[in-house]
Structure 1
């Protein structure tokens, strides 16, 4: 029953999104009080110059004009929207004209969920914090609210679920989630990047890395895990993995 309810909800989200796109294309002004919320909650924003903070604000509002955000069995809050938009802007902040063309909506769940998108107390193996959809969920991202907020509460653990999932979207823009984000790199750089990925994944497997173990799952997860670390703790990544830091800086144009 839960899975059928979810499918029905997805259909409602799709209808709502179509309506939203038809009638809400205008970019709304940035709410002034959001500035203090961002300063308090988002380290990346806090470290920006005043001019770049203004640019970040504009990018957020552009994002919110293009992506429909909804929630399941939990009331969507202002902070949810702010953190989702910030998560989408951070990885592509250095790219002036960026749009998530493969994303239509973000759906917030109250907590982690399982492979059947169940999150009730009765469901087992509730271990998924976020996912970029495929198949019937193509164009949708599902995030645990608990994981979304945790990603911005702890700036020292190198974890941020929402950024992780947006990096998967970036990786997917060449139609393949494989850890080789062609939109961020030139072809001659592919082989050195793959060599570095495999070296770093081996180090994780041998417990000789500061990156979390999930990064050794496959190339795509390595890229997303490394990106979390890069945007959450760039100084630590530079200290502990200088070669990887330089490669990430080049790809995300953060040099």
Structure 2
């Protein structure tokens, strides 16, 4: 009897693992390559041999993370933009996957800390969940789109939140992502971070002042700048640009 029960359990486990493997191997849906070309400048500017690598990372992400809407119907463009926001910061790390994320929720507008999308005080564009919302990311759909559509801006909400997730992967959201940054760069990064935050507080920097809130926000804000306007960051903050190329193992100007 016990052998029979064990056999049934093993069969169920095997079927579950097989089903998950099939889901994980699902191909990128038709039309997604065209959507990447149309909506994601980072992808469009990649060399031809790197585009399939990026597309495969998008495929992997979408096969492992659910993208749902709250007050909004999620479409293929939404999924492509969310997945691209996830892939861009980790593109220099061939084996990196988001093990601390299961769901991304798109809200119809900006929201507050009670997740309300109505009323006056709604400053939040994105959030990485904690507690009951662990492994969940929330993004304002309009803010997500703005990050890809307004190319002259230095703001990129999707990348901002995924960098928070990378920072959080080592257990502490502290602006020092231990899984990404080499030990030889940790001290120079901390020193440059604190020096730049002081400049920001004195109004001597063009970096969004929100980045001076704390170390975690500094990393997220400067990462937005790095991936969205690498040309401008290199011109105005060459030392910061150089360190970010080492942290992310990539140079967006010569992708």
TM-score under structure 1 length normalisation: 0.88
Residues 1:245 and 2:203 are matched in the alignment: no
* CA distance 1:186–1:26, shift in 2 (3 Å): closer
Please list, as runs of the form range in 1=range in 2, the aligned pairs for 1:122-133 lying within 5 A after superposition: 123-133=119-129
2:58 to 51, 54, 60: 60
Q: How far has the Cα of 1:69 moved from its partner?
A: 1.1
CA RMSD of aligned residues (A): 1.6
186-195 or 80-89: bigger deviation? 186-195
1:45-194 alignment to 2 at 5 Å?
45-120=43-118, 123-194=119-190
Change over 3 Å in CA distance of 1:63–1:153 after alignment to 2 = same
- 1:61 Cα offset (Å): 0.2
Tell me if 1:233 matches 2:229: yes
Q: TM-score, normalised by structure 2?
A: 0.88
Count of aligned pairs between the two proteins? 234
In the other structure, the counterpart of 1:11 is none
CA-to-aligned-CA distance 1:169-205 (integer Å, 9 cap, x gap): 0000110000001111233422211110011111111
Question: Does the CA contact (< 8 Å) of 1:112 and 1:127 recur in 2?
Answer: yes
Question: For 1:143, what is the secondary structure of its paired residue?
Answer: strand
What's the secondary structure of 2:23's corresponding residue? coil
Report the counterpart of residue 4 of structure 2 in structure 1: none
Render the CA deviation track for 1:221-255: whole Å, top value 9, x for unaligned: 00000000000011111000000000000010014
User: Could you tell me how far 1:157 is from its partner in structure 2?
Assistant: 1.2
1:72 touches 1:108 (CA, 8 Å); kept in 2?
A: yes
Cα distance in 1 between the residues matched to 2:129 and 2:22: 24
Shift of 1:23: 8.6
**Is the contact made by 2:66 and 2:103 (CA closer than 8 Å) also made in structure 1?**
yes
Q: Which runs of 5+ in 1 are unaligned?
A: 1-20
In 2, Cα distance between equivalents of 1:140 and 1:220: 18
> How far apart are 1:68 and its partner, in Å?
1.0
Provide the rounded CA distance (Å) in 2 between the counterparts of 1:22 and 1:125: 42
Provide structure 2 residue ranges, at least 5 long, that are not aligned to the other structure. Answer: 1-18
- Describe the SS at the equivalent of 1:159: coil
Cα contact 2:181–2:248 (8 A) shared by 1: no
**1:22-41 maps to which residues of 2 (within 5 A)?**
25-41=23-39
